[in-house]
Amino acid sequence: MALEIIQNDTGLILPVRAQPGAKRNCLVGEHGGALKLAVQAPPEDGKANDSIIDLLRKSFGISKQQIELVSGHTSRDKKFLLTGITLEQVQAKITALLSDA
């Protein structure tokens, strides 16, 4: 898997490719260096963004305050800042969740 997660002084920048309006909320795989996520919420009024944050929170076992959408508010391609979690932890969780799918 070739996710382009960037580590900086603040935390980790996780690129996400969103698939709103899906049948269920889940991690789908990798898409162009980004983590592809499917969410049931429609792409309107930030509903899909909120669902993505909730899915990331549950997937990585972190709080909502540790996730911030930093770019791509109205795009399918987004970047999230994750704090309080290491690159190794994120990679291990993604690998485990995708192997279960």
Report residue 1's pLDDT band, with 50, 70 and 90 as the boundaries: low
pLDDT of residue 101: 60
pLDDT of residue 20: 96
- Taking the domains of the chain in order of start, what are their residue ranges? 6-100
pLDDT tens sequence across 8-62:
999 999 999 999 999 999 999 999 999 999 999 999 999 999 999 999 999 999 9
CA dihedral sign of residues 46, 50, 55, 56: positive
Intra-chain end-to-end CA distance of the chain, in Å: 15
Rounded Cα gap, residues 92 and 74, in angstroms: 29
Share of the chain above pLDDT 90, in %: 93
Q: What is the CATH number of domain 6-100?
A: 3.30.1200.10
Answer for the pair 31, 15: CB distance below 8 angstroms, yes or no: no
pLDDT tens sequence across 61-101:
999 999 999 999 999 999 999 999 999 999 999 999 888 76
Which single residue is written with the structure tokens 């979690």? 85
Task: Say what the pTM is.
Answer: 0.94
